[in-house]
Amino acid sequence: MPAEGSPSSKILYPEWQNEYQAALLELDREKLANRVMAAETAIFNRLQSMSQGTDYQAERQAIEDALASLRVLKRDSLGFPDWEKK
């Protein structure tokens, strides 16, 4: 169980953060790709539902940060290419 006040105890956006946390915590490489895909799908679905509103600045920033973390996870753990290399 996460300690009170730890990052994983603060789920502010459960529509996508539960799947995101599951991907970050997955240790089994064979399951990791599916966890990452589920997190990306949950984020995409949330972005679709947020598209009509303007009151989501904090959540949009959290999503941007989460997607950056998922890119690093995919690159470092799953061997995806680094799209930001120049």
Q: Given this model, what pLDDT does residue 2 score? A: 46
Helices (H) and strands (E) in the chain, counts: 3, 0
Give the C-alpha separation, 2 to 9, whole Å. 6
- The residues of the chain scoring below 70 in pLDDT are 1-9, 83-86
**pTM exceeds 0.85 for this model:** no
- Quickly count: other Cβ atoms within 10 Å of residue 43's Cβ: 22
The answer to whether 42 and 19 have CB atoms below 8 angstroms apart is yes
